[in-house]
Structure 1
Amino acid sequence: MVTTQSQSNVLRYDIVGSRRFSNYGFAVIVAIGASGFLLAGLSSFLKINLLPLSEPLQLEFVPQGLALSFYGVAGTLLELYLLYVMAIDYGSGYNEFDRNTGKVKIFRRGRSKNKNIEFIYKIADVQAVRVEIRNGLSPKRSLYLRVKGKGDLPLSEVGQPIALTALEDRAAEIAKFLSVPLEGL
């Protein structure tokens, strides 16, 4: 999601983290699968049918029920991890370019307040805005900020590649705002 503040001297882009629709869908699928495996394994152990749409009582607990229980526990742990990552919105943040203070601020949320990533540079140290486009089986469309002495810092979101026109527009807007060259197009 891109938000540009109304002030003409501040340009800000919000970055979507782990709270994406695809992550919610994956979490639901993992939860359904894990609970099915766990209930099938428990049914074979307790000899009580906990799954009304199947017949897990025909399974022997060792080895089938035990294996199903293991997959259920592993899936449940994965589900808890996904919920935790989505709850803290891991990877979200913003890119802020402020001509009032003469600073560029890149912020990403980590696992805790101590693990957040924050880079602050002077606008005078920014050398260029670079665009990297690679098509094929694993396409890559990324935007980087070249900072003197620091190399290229990523400005793009992680996940699905951004639309080519949106990437070009964003890169041109940042380069024009910072008065630096645009590379890679």
Structure 2
Amino acid sequence: MTASIKANMNDVLRYPVLGARRLSNYWWATVVTLGATGFFLASLSSYLHINLLPFADPTSLIFIPQGVAMGFYGVAGILLASYLWVIITLDVGGGYNEFNKETGKVRISRSGFFGKNRKIEIEHPLDKVQAVRVDIREGINPKRALYLRIKGRTDIPLTRVGQPLPLSELENQGAELARFLQVPLEGL
């Protein structure tokens, strides 16, 4: 929820939500891919006695147990890297929050995994919105999030998962949303 898009003379408020396509995920997917490939090629080199790595000579490794262990770590790393690349490609968690006074609806959309539930969409009437809630917890695992309190439902999270938003940005977005929806802002 970094930037809001306003259209039609302040009747629509839309916040894009960053999903899995963030720099840190690209970084870790690349690092894990390179490391896992190195381990796997070292294992293969020790088995075939052919040097497949240009920067080392793993042919001198004994295949059992060293080559097998490196092969295990290589395969495990390749599986982890594949998972990371799939969630980046699908942009899991990405989407938008749209508040539309013209239609009188709140629409929350997120991307999911494969299958019937690839797109997760929640739609509610604006008149059912009771409040915008700010949840701030500091400590080892800090949490700073905005929630939409809707009558008859559990609170719906509006912010991205992952690194918490800066406090000033969270307060500004919460205040802007509460003002737009003309509901109270809770938690501050």
**TM range, smaller chain:** over 0.9
2 CA distance for matches of 1:113 and 1:182?
A: 37
3-state SS of the aligned residue for 1:151? coil
User: What is the one-letter code of the residue matched to 1:6?
Assistant: A
**For residue 177 of structure 1, what is the aligned residue in structure 2?**
180
Q: Partner of 1:129 in structure 2?
A: 132
**1:147 counterpart residue number:** 150
- Matched to 1:182, the amino acid is L
How many residue pairs get matched?
185
1:114 aligns with 116
Which one of the candidate residues 12, 17, 21 is aligned to 1:15?
A: 17
Q: How far does residue 5 in structure 1 lie from its aligned partner after superposition?
A: 2.6
Deviates more, 1:17-26 or 1:60-69: 60-69
Gaps of 5+ in 2: none
Aligned-pair RMSD on alpha carbons? 1.1
State which drifts further: 18-27 or 51-60: 51-60
User: Which secondary structure state, in structure 2, belongs to the residue aligned with residue 159 of structure 1?
Assistant: coil
CA deviations on 1:58-109 (whole Å, 9 max, x unpaired) are 2111111011111111111111111111111111011000000111011111
Moved more, 44-53 or 167-176: 44-53
Determine whether 1:59 maps to 2:61: yes
CA distance in 2, matches of 1:104, 1:55: 60
Tell me the residue number matched to 2:162. 159
* CA displacement at 1:2 relative to structure 2: 1.8
Q: Cα distance, 1:113 vs. partner? A: 6.4
Which of 82, 103, 109 aligns to 1:80? It is 82
Runs (4+) off by over 4 Å: none
- 1:24 is paired with a residue whose SS is helix
**Equivalent AA in structure 2 for residue 145 of structure 1:** L
1:90 to 65, 81, 92: 92
Query: 1:74 is paired with a residue of what secondary structure?
Result: helix
CA distance in structure 2 between the aligned counterparts of 1:66 and 1:125, rounded to whole angstroms: 59
The one-letter amino acid paired with 2:6 is Q
- Separation of aligned partners in 2, 1:102 and 1:112: 31
**Partner Cα separation in structure 2 for residue 44 and residue 126 of structure 1:** 63
Q: Distance in 1 between matches of 2:136 and 2:38?
A: 42
- Pair 1:164–1:83, CA change in 2 (3 A): same
TM-score, normalization by structure 1: 0.96
**Letter of the structure 2 residue corresponding to residue 51 of structure 1:** L
Give the AA of the match of 2:75.
V
